[in-house]
Amino acid sequence: MRKLIRSQRGFTLIELLVVIGILAALAGVVTLGVTRFIGRGQTEANCTDLHNVQTAAAACRVEVVSGRDTGTDCTSPTALRTGGYLLTNAKCTYTIDSEGRVTSQSCPGGQECAGVATGP
């Protein structure tokens, strides 16, 4: 019985420290990768919001020109929301011209969204 107990040995302190070090290094690599993806996701979400604003303004403009909607100002984000064209607020600041195009945009971090009409 004593031989059995003496032959059962656990891990040494050095072995445990090596394993903990490897796990810490892996956790650091994973954290950096996830942080990069989260940042990219926020950028894409901001650009998607601007695309939605532009689509809502264009839809509003079509309704106003056709005469089906005469009470909505298609250049105002508040009017687009109350008119039912836009459901959420964008995190970016923007202006909309009378043609339903986003003429300026300012997103957190200074990003520019490709595919969003800007300028005249």
Res 52 pLDDT > 80: yes
- Model pLDDT, residue 14: 92
Residue 119 tokens, joined? 């300028």
The DSSP 8-state label assigned to residue 91 in this structure reads S
- Model pLDDT, residue 117: 61
Residue 19, strand partner residues: none
What's the mean pLDDT when you consider all of the chain?
A: 81
Res 81 pLDDT > 80: yes
Q: Are 86 and 50 in contact (CB under 8 A)?
A: no
Q: Within 13 A of 13's CA, how many CA atoms are on the CB side?
A: 0
Residue 4: exposure state from Cβ atoms within 10 A (0-12, 13-18, ≥19): exposed
Find where tokens 């040494």 sit. 12
Question: Which pTM was predicted?
Answer: 0.64
- Model pLDDT, residue 23: 96
Residue 106: exposure state from Cβ atoms within 10 A (0-12, 13-18, ≥19): exposed
The DSSP 8-state label assigned to residue 114 in this structure reads T
